[in-house]
């Protein structure tokens, strides 16, 4: 069974650059109309596609993403 991942988006830290969306090879993150308390467009996470690679977290300049591998 392939590894799965969980992505935690910390909305208060997200500045809406969407680098995580652009660099996610699996398409797990997408731009939505959901806004953070600061009025920033926060990405939406689709867990079914995630393999826990962590690229989204490494690309985030604001450390607004935590990635956990699950089985």
Residues β-bridged to residue 67: 7
pTM: 0.84
For residue range 11-67, list pLDDT tens digits in order. Answer: 888 899 999 999 999 999 999 888 877 888 889 999 888 999 999 999 999 999 999
Report the C-alpha gap between 65 and 29 in whole angstroms: 11
Q: How many CB atoms lie within 10 A of CB 26?
A: 15
Assigned architecture for domain 4-70: 2-Layer Sandwich (3.30)
DSSP 11-24: TTT--S--HHHHH-
Report the C-alpha gap between 13 and 1 in whole angstroms: 33
What radius of gyration do the chain's Cα atoms show?
11
């Amino acid at each position: 069974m392939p590894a799965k991942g969980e992505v935690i988006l910390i909305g208060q830290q997200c500045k809406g650059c969407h680098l995580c969306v652009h660099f996610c090879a699996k398409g797990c993150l997408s731009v939505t109309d959901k806004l953070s308390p600061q009025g920033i467009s926060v990405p939406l996470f689709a867990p079914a596609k995630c393999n826990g690679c962590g690229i989204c977290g490494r690309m985030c300049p604001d450390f607004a993403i935590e990635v956990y591998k699950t089985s």
